[in-house]
Amino acid sequence: MLYGIAVFPSQAVQDFANSWRIRHDPHYSIIPPHMTIRDKEELSESQLPAITEHLEAVASQTKPFQIRYNRVSSFYPASHVLYLALEDPAPMIKLHQAVCQGPLDVPAPNFVYTPHVTIGQNMPPDELHDLYGNLRMSEVNLTSTIDSLHLLRKTASGVWHVDKTFALKG
């Protein structure tokens, strides 16, 4: 089964993201706005106890923290994605590094981890450039308290559901 690990931003951030995602993100209906901590991968039932134990340990050692989204950015030309970017990504990178150890170690990642909330993806280049040109001029000042991480599971219907939540308690 496919699993992933993510955090969900505040409702205000989700509402802002969804106002763009509804038209520009084909994943709008299968997962709420989120920040991926560990990309999706196939996991067996036998792997889940060690992963759950690891995530509980990470959560118990991590204090809740504040993040601020201050702009819209893009991964173009690597991919046609528009996203909300963080003013200071360091706390999210630290959480990502803590999660991606032990049973969730990634020996050779395919990309540099960039915490973000996607607001548009898989757009034609002209649409991406037009939207990005407009949005990068907009003022963005949204905050979230990150106080939990979530193990997500992709269902047979393709929708992502929270399988388990780990409250940050550090």
What tokens does 109 get?
Answer: 């990642």
Contacts of 71 (CB under 8 A, 6+ apart): 84, 85, 136, 140
- Report the alpha-carbon distance of residue 36 to residue 116 in Å, rounded: 8
153 to each of 25, 30, 158, how far by Cα in Å?
20, 11, 9
Q: Catalytic site residue 80?
A: no
> Distance (Å, rounded) from C-alpha 18 to C-alpha 14?
6
Catalytic residue status for 24: no
User: Which position among 34, 54, 80, 96 bears the catalytic label?
Assistant: 34
Query: Which among 24, 54, 80, 116 is annotated as catalytic?
Result: 116
Q: Which of 7, 101, 95, 1 is nearest to 47 (CA)?
A: 1
Active site positions, annotated: 34, 116
